[in-house]
Amino acid sequence: MKNTKAKLMDDESGAYHYADPITDMAMDWLIRIEAQPENANQKAEFERWLAEDHMHASAFSRIATMWDLPELKEATEILAAKHPVGTEDPKVIVFKPRPAKSSKTWMRAVAAIAATVVVAVGVYQYPSLMLQWNADYVTQAGMVRQLTLPDGSQLTLNTNSAVALDFTEGRRNVKLLQGEAYFDVVKDAEHPFVVAAQFSQTEVKGTAFTVRSEDDQDVVVLQRGVVEVSLESSPAVSVELRPGQEVFAERNALSHVQPADVETSLAWLSGRMSFNAEPLEKVVAQVQRYYPHTILIARDSLKSNLVSGNYRLDNPEGILRSLAAATESTVYRIPGGILILN
């Protein structure tokens, strides 16, 4: 993102533009077309511009792809709600076409798609700031951190994860706010060790296990010892896990206890990612946790492709390119580090 930001320039009017003239013209064309999509003369002029140089079409395609990213639209909608239409702030971008009489103001407001990228990054930093405010420990994408807790237990925090601790007055409580954590718990029969996640609560006396919080479920995998997993919304609903077992917790239900592939589930502890005949969409979601920017799958037909592999986690972009080769697709990298699988 630093390279993208460095390309932003502003002229005497305060509007933003790119130093690269082709990219700047591509952004200008996109804005003009969005403002007047039915203008036949403009369309003909645009087609002539595309035909002048193959680099023109390439630049326009790249910018148009960025324009359609849902992340950027969400970011600008938030900003548009905070700033009235007609604002002189060039970073306030509104995607809906404006009437002709206001098109000049609107076009100035969206003077560069690059500014949208910068704004989107700022919006996406907000949840991260809130997470850091509530957490005691946070890891960024690609980072794994090992910690010794106040009672001597060991905690390994996976990538893009966060925890809050409560070890006061004899309590041994950990709240998994995001991501995944591995716990190697010191035995203390008088003081249970409790891990709360999004939908579940895991209680132990002394054991080793992982808890992973996903968008719609928690996953608890037991390596050794015994744990009791209960539903956060209904604590009376609980199951007991034995070594080599796992359970999935959703908002209102616990799954049946089932065998776990512990080696695969804990592969991240040794810096690797392992999967066997998993849907590409699910694997990419895991790779995303180790990559600091957005990864998108452009074609729905790719998402259900089954893939297998065992990779080092220190090169998530390399993992994605290997998956692309396996699925006969292509990875495109656009400004801001965004990767698109198509």
Q: 42 with 78, same domain?
A: yes
Q: How far apart are the first and last CA of the chain?
A: 22
Q: 301 with 248, same domain?
A: no
We report the CATH number of the domain holding residue 296 as 3.55.50.30
What is the extent of the structural domain holding 81?
Answer: 2-126
Q: 253 with 142, same domain?
A: yes
Q: 247 with 336, same domain?
A: no
What's 185's DSSP letter? P
Is residue 76 situated within a structural domain? yes
Q: 9 with 41, same domain?
A: yes
Is residue 323 situated within a structural domain? yes
295-316 mean pLDDT: 91
Nearest to 14 by CA among 111, 87, 94, 99: 111
Q: 167 with 249, same domain?
A: yes
Q: 85 with 187, same domain?
A: no
292-313 mean pLDDT: 91
Q: 153 with 80, same domain?
A: no
Is residue 56 situated within a structural domain? yes
Q: 83 with 186, same domain?
A: no
- For 13, residues 6+ apart whose C-beta sits below 8 A from its C-beta are 108
Is a pLDDT exceeding 60 seen at residue 146? Answer: yes
Strands of the 295-297 sheet, one edge to the other: 295-297, 338-341, 331-334
Give the CA count within 13 Å in the CB-facing half-sphere of 279.
9
**Can you give the three-state secondary structure of 91-104, one letter per residue?**
CCCCCCCCCHHHHH
Contact 141, 124 (CB under 8 A): no
Domain end marker among 99, 126, 153: 126
53-65 mean pLDDT: 78
Q: 71 with 165, same domain?
A: no
Is a pLDDT exceeding 50 seen at residue 41? Answer: yes
Q: What is the pLDDT of residues 274-286, one digit of tens each?
A: 998 999 999 999 9
Q: Helix count (H) and strand count (E) of the chain?
A: 11, 21
Q: What is the pLDDT of residues 183-230, one digit of tens each?
A: 999 999 889 999 999 999 999 977 999 999 988 899 999 999 999 999
Is residue 23 situated within a structural domain? yes
Nearest to 305 by CA among 330, 323, 332: 323
Contact 165, 157 (CB under 8 A): no
Is a pLDDT exceeding 60 seen at residue 151? Answer: yes
Above pLDDT 90, what percent of the chain?
50
**What is the pLDDT at residue 298?**
83
Is residue 132 situated within a structural domain? no
Is a pLDDT exceeding 70 seen at residue 321? Answer: yes
Is residue 95 situated within a structural domain? yes
Contact 293, 338 (CB under 8 A): yes
Q: What is the pLDDT of residues 5-34, one digit of tens each?
A: 333 344 433 344 444 678 768 777 877 777
- Lowest average pLDDT, out of 4-13, 99-108, 295-304, goes to 4-13
Q: 93 with 25, same domain?
A: yes
Structural domain count, the chain: 3
Is residue 131 situated within a structural domain? no
Is residue 176 situated within a structural domain? yes
* Backbone dihedral angles phi then psi of residue 198, each to the nearest 5 degrees: -65, -45
Contact 116, 144 (CB under 8 A): no
Is a pLDDT exceeding 80 seen at residue 130? Answer: no
